Amino acid sequence: MSTATAPAAKKFASQADLAEKKETFTELADGVFALTAEGDPNSGVIIGDDSVLVVDARATPVMARELVERIRAVTDKPIRHVLLTHYHAVRVLGAAGFDERVNVIASDVTRDMIVERGAQDMASEIQRFPRLFRAQETIPGLTWPSLTFHGEMTLWLGSREVRIIHAGRGHTRGDTIAWLPKEKVLFAGDLVEYGATPYCGDAHFRDWPATLDRLEALGAEKLVPGRGEALTTPGQIKAGLDETRAFLRDAFAIAEAGVRRGMT
């Protein structure tokens, strides 16, 4: 039985880490790629028979266009869909870097969170983590989905099936995954972190572990976390899930202890 241990967790968004990260564009299955960056936010690329789906739009249009350049190195098929796994600025504000005709897909709950907190989150993230928003002056404003769904939808890229699922509350209340059932590749967004400390500003601690259980039940053979390297072995996948669970358990226990002591 293979086992793996997640690397030491890095602070969220690398507040104490100002160095630029090396990006890696890895093919996980035929036409399925992960863009990872040593603990900075990840994105995904799924190439179908007739078009391309991007998972998470990146932080700025300039950064999104750099991803487009990587895509153009492997296919000339049109990028027709961009999926937002959740509402956080570092995931969504690059959408303007894609063709204006793309479908920007999000769960209905994620759209509600953009309405409620999008502007606040945009200002807060750019102020706290400016390194992650390279060429922030190119951001035209909030990103709004052009297509929303409730619960689950299936996107067919020709013959390639992509299940887009509002997995449950966890990192936010709108967390969405992209699941390729034939290839058994899962893009988990920030529901799973690997060697990176989960950000919990919008977290639902009581619900997140059950959401992870639902992800695990899919039986993924490759898993792309929100941050950290792509997980390509059963041991790595188990480590990513277990380390995320352990962090949530410990953080929630600390919070409960504080409440018992009268802290707020």
pLDDT in tens, 24-46: 999 999 999 999 999 999 999 99
Determine the pLDDT at residue 14: 47
Superfamily covering domain 12-260:
Ribonuclease Z/Hydroxyacylglutathione hydrolase-like (3.60.15.10)
Determine the pLDDT at residue 157: 99
> How far is CA 46 from each of CA 27, 197, 200, 229, rounded to the nearest angstrom?
10, 27, 28, 17
User: Average pLDDT, stretch 78-96?
Assistant: 98
Bridge partner residues of 103 (DSSP): 81
> How far is CA 29 from each of CA 17, 55, 221, 237, rounded to the nearest angstrom?
32, 15, 10, 16
Locate all alpha helices (DSSP H) within 49-107, ordered by sequence.
Answer: 61-72, 89-92
Determine the pLDDT at residue 9: 55
- Give the pairing of strands 24-29 and 32-37: antiparallel
In this predicted structure, which of 5-9, 17-21, 117-121, 232-236 has the lowest mean pLDDT? Answer: 5-9
Sign of the dihedral through C-alpha 17, 22, 28, 33: positive
Does position 3 have pLDDT exceeding 70, yes or no? no
User: Average pLDDT, stretch 101-126?
Assistant: 98
Supply the pTM of this predicted model: 0.92
Determine the pLDDT at residue 26: 98
Mean pLDDT of the chain: 93
Quick one: CA torsion of 79, 85, 91, 95, rounded to 10 degrees? 30
Report the C-alpha gap between 213 and 191 in whole angstroms.
Answer: 11
User: Average pLDDT, stretch 187-191?
Assistant: 98
